[in-house]
């Protein structure tokens, strides 16, 4: 079992969700985050004051999957999230020791398998 954390551009979210759904990856959490990577810093004027914008708005996806879904999940995010420009984001894959579905008490693979 793995936890996949992906940080992507907000405008790519719908395409990434559609790609994940197409690969039958279900069950994820979406969070709005701010961060700084390789993007160029921008300077904006706000109420007559010049402000240096150092953090960029991003979206973070947390997806718990069983082993057979790791590669399809990563591929879907890479394909749908890529623009080719700096700032497309990152994907992190972490090992997971245990997973529990709170409603039923199911564990591990049964807890990350979609409910039909």
Q: Are 9 and 21 in contact (CB under 8 A)?
A: no
Residue-level pLDDT at 63: 96
Structural domain range at position 42: 2-112
The per-residue pLDDT for range 56-113, each reduced to its tens digit, is 899 999 999 999 999 999 999 999 999 999 889 999 999 999 999 999 999 998 888 7
Q: Which of 23, 27, 19, 30 is nearest to 115 (CA)?
A: 27
Q: What is the CATH number of the domain that holds 65?
A: 3.30.70.120
- List, in sequence order, every beta strand (DSSP E) within the chain: 2-8, 28-35, 42-46, 49-53, 56-65, 89-95
pLDDT at 46 over 90: no
Number of compact structural domains in the chain: 1
pLDDT in tens, 28-42: 999 999 988 776 666
- Per-residue confidence (pLDDT) for residue 107, from 0 to 100: 92
């Amino acid at each position: 079992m793995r936890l996949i954390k992906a940080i992507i551009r907000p405008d790519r979210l719908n395409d990434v969700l559609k790609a994940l759904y197409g690969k039958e990856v279900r069950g994820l959490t979406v969070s709005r985050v701010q961060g700084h990577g390789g993007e160029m810093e921008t300077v904006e004027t706000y109420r007559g004051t010049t402000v240096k914008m150092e953090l960029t708005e991003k979206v973070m996806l947390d997806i718990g999957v069983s082993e057979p879904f790791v590669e399809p999940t990563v591929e879907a995010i890479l394909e749908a999230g890529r623009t080719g420009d700096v700032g497309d984001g990152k994907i992190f894959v972490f090992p997971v020791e245990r997973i529990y579905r709170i409603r039923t008490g199911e564990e591990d693979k049964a807890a990350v398998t979609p409910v039909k």
